[in-house]
Amino acid sequence: MRTAILGLVMVALSGCAGMENSMASKKPEWTLLIHGGAGVMRRAEMTPENDAAYRAGLNEALDAGSKILASGGSSLDAVEAAVRVLEDNPNFNAGKGAVLTREGVAELDASIMDGRDREAGAVAQVRTVKNPIRAARLVMEATGRVMFAGKDADELAAKGGLEIVPPEYFITLRRLEALRRAMAGNLEPQDRYGTVGAVAMDKAGNLAAATSTGGMNAKPPGRIGDSPIIGAGTYADNASCAVSSTGDGEYFIRASVARMICARVDMKNMSAEQAAQASLDEVKALGGTGGVIVLSHDGSVALSMNTEGMFRGHADATGKRQVGIYADE
């Protein structure tokens, strides 16, 4: 009887608003989840043009990653490709169009992790690498280290042959205005944060995760959030799951969100959705908001948030293709 009631409660909980999630009955041959950040415009202020532009950007990122996965490519290549597309799209807070520090510059953070062996790479506070996610991958594959920051990270990327751009490349009018609003104390939800990320499982069953961000609007120079922190913003382990986070980075670091989600999947046998919700509840209890995308080794997925929305997308080998912005869609 008790178990039956518990079962009913679990079913009811799994249908919670804001959770566009599913337990996989059968694992698709490959799966890709992406997010474009949990800081979304209030619905009333979203114009049809903006709505269409965001959805087109998400679909473009899904296209880039799906193409690789469908043709038998690796999850690592797929998450990098999807994130690069979002970094190049000025609508999202990563790469071009990133939010700015109080001093009006873009300081970019990114990380990537390979679920096969838990190799990982990250960069923080880079100012001239066009695609910070490529720099994170370079750190992982070429240095034997996990994280580089600041000027040295920029130099490493340049020496590694990555495309270097002047710091102004990243600055857009929209983010300058958002910075001005923040400095005047009028912070809109979409001005606060963003971040992009992807998690994937390839045909070989390998998981990978990648995250890239400009961080928080009007952050003090030198501030680093969760996105380049392995275990907070990004995590991937074939034995458990792959995670990319977005939200108030300080809280995501303190709650070790990405690692804890995978630990819950691994040690407590939770589904992606249950583990995501448990960690977001922890973040909320600390005072933070945000969202996560989670892909479990068993194929279960979560695109969960405790914000009004999260730009997100889901594609898999069965032909599934979905993008969303608000929590209730």
Catalytic residue annotation: 195
β-bridge partners, 113: 120, 209
Question: Which listed residue (190, 206, 246, 289) binds ligand ASP by CB under 6 A?
Answer: 246
User: Is the separation of the CB atoms in 182 and 218 below 8 Å?
Assistant: yes
Question: Which listed residue (226, 273, 308, 316) binds ligand ASP by CB under 6 A?
Answer: 226
Q: Indicate the residue among 91 and 238 with the shorter CB distance to ligand ASP.
A: 91
What minimum distance in Å lies between the beta carbon of 79 and ligand ASP?
Answer: 16
The stretch among 137-145, 157-165, 225-233, 320-328 that binds ligand ASP (CB under 6 A) is 225-233
Taking the C-alpha atoms of residue 75 and residue 312, their distance in angstroms, rounded to an integer, is: 18
- Contact between 228 and ligand ASP by CB under 6 A: the answer reads no
Question: Which listed residue (89, 213, 274, 289) binds ligand ASP by CB under 6 A?
Answer: 213
- Contact between 231 and ligand ASP by CB under 6 A: the answer reads no
Question: Which listed residue (101, 195, 274, 279) binds ligand ASP by CB under 6 A?
Answer: 195
* Cβ partners under 8 Å of residue 4, min gap 6: none
- Contact between 90 and ligand ASP by CB under 6 A: the answer reads no
- Contact between 288 and ligand ASP by CB under 6 A: the answer reads no
Taking the C-alpha atoms of residue 250 and residue 225, their distance in angstroms, rounded to an integer, is: 6
- Contact between 39 and ligand ASP by CB under 6 A: the answer reads yes
CA nearest to 94, candidates 180, 210, 215, 226: 215
Residue 52 tokens, joined: 């269409």
Taking the C-alpha atoms of residue 227 and residue 224, their distance in angstroms, rounded to an integer, is: 8
Q: Judge residue 210's burial from the number of C-beta atoms within 10 Å of its C-beta, 0-12 exposed, 13-18 middle, 19 or more buried.
A: buried
Question: Which listed residue (193, 235, 311, 326) binds ligand ASP by CB under 6 A?
Answer: 193
* Cβ partners under 8 Å of residue 329, min gap 6: 20
* Cβ partners under 8 Å of residue 181, min gap 6: 187, 188, 191
User: Is the separation of the CB atoms in 280 and 291 below 8 Å?
Assistant: yes
Taking the C-alpha atoms of residue 290 and residue 216, their distance in angstroms, rounded to an integer, is: 12
- Contact between 36 and ligand ASP by CB under 6 A: the answer reads no
Q: Indicate the residue among 121 and 233 with the shorter CB distance to ligand ASP.
A: 233
Taking the C-alpha atoms of residue 21 and residue 25, their distance in angstroms, rounded to an integer, is: 13
Question: Which listed residue (28, 37, 95, 299) binds ligand ASP by CB under 6 A?
Answer: 37
- Contact between 202 and ligand ASP by CB under 6 A: the answer reads no
- Contact between 87 and ligand ASP by CB under 6 A: the answer reads no
Residue 156 identity (one-letter amino acid)? L
- Contact between 216 and ligand ASP by CB under 6 A: the answer reads yes
- Contact between 98 and ligand ASP by CB under 6 A: the answer reads no
Q: Indicate the residue among 148 and 193 with the shorter CB distance to ligand ASP.
A: 193
What minimum distance in Å lies between the beta carbon of 263 and ligand ASP?
Answer: 20
Residue nearest to ligand ASP (CB): 249
Residue 257 tokens, joined: 């969100």
Cα angle: 182, vertex 185, 188; to 5 degrees = 60
Q: Indicate the residue among 46 and 70 with the shorter CB distance to ligand ASP.
A: 46
- Contact between 132 and ligand ASP by CB under 6 A: the answer reads no
Binding site for ligand ASP (CB under 6 A): 37, 39, 193-195, 213, 215-216, 225-227, 246-247, 249
